[in-house]
Amino acid sequence: MPETSVFIQQFEVRGRDFANAGRASTAIKEILKEIGIPPAVVRRAAIAAYEAEMNVVLYARQGTVELQVSPAEVRLLVRDQGDGIPDIELAMQEGYSTASEEIREMGFGAGMGLPNIRKNADEFRIESVVGQGTELDIRIRL
């Protein structure tokens, strides 16, 4: 496979759609397994995708998770339309959360999502515009 060839698939994620929350990430995991990505990378990508997808479901109006696979890396681009994050540095701290009681009852909102994503990524970039939305760029080397 030439260096430029990239597999791309995009998944739509709807805010507050709890019944389907996690579907994109489990689909991404299946795809990565099928195309023969090493299990340890599959697991890291699936965990990062799932935390990012849950953030869209829990906090944003809607968003997309885009999977890109090249011979060099697995890349996840997660873009949402939502309130955005006013203080990214604070949001990256373990334990910091703005989650409601409803979110916590679902087992999320412990302030571990973004730190978990960073932990599983080789490169992680986050940009957010308050009142517009947030964009995550997660890269895991192969």
Partner 1 sequence: MTLEEIRRILNCEVLSGDEDLEQEVFAGCGADLMSDVLAFAKPGAVLLTGLTNVQAVRTADVADIKAIVFVRGKLPDRETVELARAKGIPLLATRMTMFEACGRLWVAGLRADIEPEHAQDAGNLRLHTTV
- Binding site residues, partner 1, CB under 8 A: 18-19, 21-23, 25-26, 29, 39, 43, 46-47, 49-51, 106-108, 110, 112-113, 115-116, 119
Of residues 52 and 69, the one with the C-beta less far from partner 1: 52
What DSSP state is assigned to residue 107?
T
Q: How far is the CB of 105 from partner 1 (least distance, A)?
A: 9
Integer CA distances (angstroms), 82 to 8, 39, 46, 117, in order: 24, 33, 23, 19
Of residues 82 and 113, the one with the C-beta less far from partner 1: 113
Of residues 31 and 110, the one with the C-beta less far from partner 1: 110
With the CA atoms of 142, 126, 25 and 59 taken in that order, what torsion angle do they form, in degrees rounded to the nearest 10? 170
Q: How far is the CB of 1 from partner 1 (least distance, A)?
A: 27
Of residues 27 and 81, the one with the C-beta less far from partner 1: 27
Q: How far is the CB of 40 from partner 1 (least distance, A)?
A: 8
Contact between 75 and 137 (Cβ < 8 Å): yes
Integer CA distances (angstroms), 104 to 98, 107, 110, in order: 10, 5, 7
Q: How far is the CB of 118 from partner 1 (least distance, A)?
A: 11
3 state SS of 56: helix
